[in-house]
Amino acid sequence: MSSPGPSNGFIAASRVLQWLRAYHGQAMPEAVDLDLVREMLPSTPYGQGVREIKPPMAATWSGCEGALVRNPNDSAEWGIFYNPDARPERRRFTVAHELGHFVLHRDRQPSFNCDKASVHLGLGSSAVIEREADDFASNLLMPGDVLRERIASYRSAHPQRDRPAFRGVVRGAVHPFHQVH
């Protein structure tokens, strides 16, 4: 695997998708397997110095949408937490978001607690890293090539809607995609 180099959410997610496609070959599943990504990352250039990312667990504290935490007793071990009251789609996005923090930001701090305020109202560098983790998650869960294929397929099936006045094509294609993934 090549060196990660300078990265942003899109580039990092694209690289992880390349690794997944190489792993799966022609049998790449429709939905990205986040457990496989979590297990794979320590053995990639993005996981240098990390032995394990523990399976995601429900957060036991209130106000948490998600968290990425380094084990204070073992710096080679990280854990992901999610809001157990969130819908399954939201939990899935949260896990992908925390994997984004792992790939993009773990060298900056030992933990990330993503509550609603930091996600939606974060200021300065907090807002930037939250957007970068969101960008990673979005691009990992909804690869651009797959999204373009779905939009093209939708437009082929509904040619009467392929006009400037039809503004819902992206929303119509994206919303079901997130439900599946």
Mean pLDDT by 10 residues, the chain (181 residues): 64 94 85 96 96 96 91 97 94 96 93 71 71 93 78 67 49 47 44
pLDDT above 70 covers what percent of the chain? Answer: 74
Map out the domains of the chain with their CATH numbers.
9-141 (1.10.10), 143-181 (no CATH)
Give CA angle at 91 (85, 98), nearest 5°: 125
What's the alpha-carbon Rg for the chain, to the nearest Å?
17
CA atoms of 80 and 88, how far apart (whole Å): 15
- Tell me, yes or no, if the pTM score tops 0.85: no
**Per residue in 107-119, pLDDT tens?**
998 889 877 666 5
Instruction: Give the model's pLDDT for residue 59.
Output: 94
- H or E segment and range at residue 80: strand 74-82
